Amino acid sequence: MSGAEEREHLIYMGFPGERPPYHVYEAVQIFNDCGAFPVLVPNSASPQDACGDGCSGIWLAKDSVRAEIPAFETAGEKMAHKLQKREIYKIMCQFTGYHSPWGCMTGVRPAKIVNSLLRSGMTPDEAVRELKAFYLASPEKAELAVETACNQERFLQQQRRHPENVAVYVGIPFCPTRCLYCSFPSHPIGKYVKSVDRYLTLLEQELGSVIPAVRNHGLRIESLYVGGGTPTALEEDQFRTLLNILVNAVGTEGLTEFSLEAGRPDSITAAKLEAAREAGVTRISINPQTMNNDTLELIGRRHTAEETERAFFLARTAGFCNINMDVIAGLPGESPEDFAETLNRIAGLRPDALTVHTLSVKRAADLKRDARAAMLRHDVTGKMLSLSRIAAREMGMIPFYMYRQKNMLGNHENVSYCRPGCESPYNIHIMEEDQTIFAFGAGGVSKLSVPGPNAEHNILRSFNVKSVEDYLARSGEMAERKLRLLSASLDGRDLTGAFSL
């Protein structure tokens, strides 16, 4: 196609002002994935009489077709934005021929939308119908979101009954190597060998400054999640030191969940697993991502499928009875058959939970070319996700939390399945944002969740610096930020009072 012909088929979007309103931007962002993000035409509002229901001034055009977006003035601002999003989505579907599996649903928490529908009095069947009819989600996604939300309900009720329950997250931002697709604050540990001891000392100080204040406010630490990074990337003696710090600072008795990311099988040893069991770790993640050795090499994992199996058996032998395994759908060069083979080998191990991620190409510049090509085969990723759902069901698992990210292949999602009883309350609450979380270490994000009217939660955040160097220089400031968050947000009142129902 010539340049002139290409221009002819471009989509244009006009709006009043310099930038499109955020909800409008979100709606067209859905089509970024298939290369159809419109050309933006700022300050080009349509005349008021251009459409029947009052004109929003926003329009979309392709070739000789131009569509005006109504203002939906009588609907109230929130609903008007939803309706405009839906309208934009429908027009973009017509212009591109592309339909997102989640329809016009945007945002990272589909189950949260379902939870609010259920709270408004809808039955699960009605919620499925609403997702299909209003949000234009596919039947498969609508059912998945509602099933996930229903499986979360008893955890959400528990939090409503015990608003004093909080979570603690500890970030260890080191890994054996950096995976090609990584979007976490993680660094190859080889480059930071000399900094690890200092990092642990400062982490201990940060915990020691904040945890007593958390307790003094009448809060109860329900779960402790140690992630990063890969905490098991530490040397055995450093790993033991980390566990001692956690046991002393947080106290692991009485925790409902003590989760440990041991994502990289090449970082796992019998001694580390034994130390983790002794410290009270209840749930561990060993992440194959794929059981295809060629793909593992391509994505920079530097371990084999056989090492994953060995690490899994070591963990079982050490006595872990809640082992999660992560896989990624949409890895470069993989077909649904490759993915099915990965699922088969994982099923043979009989893990307790399976977390299925859709590849996100956010920062992996090297991956983008391949990923773009894969995007043209959206149905491939979708097919993989359908296979994983069947495999999880055959392993006796149920979906218990899910989330979406920007730039996910095919606008899909990440879902975690588990055997009933092996749910991770930490992950459920972090997605629902109904529980306060205090985060320590580089890259940690603390969130104070304060219940508001109508079961909504107001979230106040405190960010730790992301880089190891900054953390080594400023960890004291990170502790102060959290203490300020605690006191300023509550105006000096006792948190249990602020959280009372």
State the residues that interact with ligand SF4 by CB under 6 A.
Answer: 175, 178-179, 182, 184, 186, 229-230, 263-264
Q: How far is the CB of 61 from ligand SF4 (least distance, A)?
A: 41
> Residue 267 and residue 288: Cα distance in Å, rounded?
12
DSSP code, position 339: H
Half-sphere exposure of 155 (CA within 13 A, CB side): 29
Shorter beta-carbon distance to ligand SF4: residue 68 or 326:
326
The residue (of 147 and 261) whose beta carbon lies closer to ligand SF4 is 261
Residues 6 or more apart whose Cβ sits within 8 Å of residue 379: 410
Which CB sits closer to ligand SF4, 51 or 179? Answer: 179
> In the bound complex, what is the minimum distance in angstroms from residue 230's beta carbon to ligand SF4?
5
Contact between residue 315 and residue 350 where contact means Cβ atoms under 8 Å apart: no
What crossing angle do the helices spanning 139-161 and 110-119 adopt, rounded to 10°? 70
Q: Which is nearer to ligand SF4, 113 or 328 (CB)?
A: 328
Shortest CB 184 distance to ligand SF4, Å = 4
**Least distance from ligand SF4 to the Cβ atom of residue 191, Å:** 13
Is the CB of 103 or the CB of 173 nearer to ligand SF4? 173
Which residue lies nearer to ligand SF4 by CB, 103 or 263?
263
Q: In the complex, what is the shortest distance from the CB of residue 98 to ligand SF4, in angstroms, rounded to a whole number?
A: 29
Q: What is the CA radius of gyration of the chain?
A: 24
Nearer CB in complex with ligand SF4: 20/443: 443
Whether 199 contacts 241, CB under 8 Å: no
Cβ of residue 122: shortest distance to ligand SF4, in angstroms?
37
Contact between 112 and 120 (Cβ < 8 Å):
no
Q: How many Å apart are CA 292 and CA 295, to the nearest integer? A: 5
Q: Which of 449, 460, 401 shows the shortest CA–CA distance to 150?
A: 401
CA 109 to chain centre: 8
- Tell me the residue length of the chain: 501
Q: Decide: 46 and 61 in contact? Cβ < 8 Å.
A: no
Considering the complex, state which of residue 85 and residue 303 has its C-beta at the smaller distance from ligand SF4. 303
Q: What is the dihedral of CA 399, 295, 411, 443, to 10 degrees?
A: 80
| Cα 325 to Cα 18, 190, 287, 385, 495, distances in angstroms | 46, 25, 5, 15, 36
Contact assessment for residue 284 and residue 245, using Cβ atoms and an 8 Å cutoff? no
The minimum distance between CB 229 and ligand SF4, in angstroms, equals 5
Alpha-carbon 290 to chain mean position: 19
Q: What whole-number distance in Å separates Cα of residue 95 and Cα of residue 90?
A: 9
Strands 65-70 and 55-62: antiparallel
Task: Tell me the closest approach of the beta carbon of residue 264 to ligand SF4, in angstroms.
Answer: 5
Nearer CB in complex with ligand SF4: 366/480 = 366
Report the residue number, 70 or 173, with the smaller CB distance to ligand SF4.
173
> Half-sphere exposure of 276 toward its Cβ, with a 13 Å CA cutoff?
33
Instruction: Name the minimum Å distance from CB 395 to ligand SF4.
Output: 23
Q: What would the 3-class secondary structure string for 122-157 be?
A: CCHHHHHHHHHHCCCCCHHHHHHHHHHHHHHHHHHH
CB of 185 to ligand SF4, least distance (A): 8
Cα gap 250→238, rounded to integer Å:
18
* Residue 99 or 310 with smaller CB distance to ligand SF4: 310
Q: How far is the CB of 182 from ligand SF4 (least distance, A)?
A: 3
Shortest Å, Cβ 321 to ligand SF4: 23
Q: Which two tokens stand for residue 81?
A: 């934005």
Query: What type of residue sits at position 235?
Result: E
Which CB, 299 or 384, lies closer to ligand SF4? 299
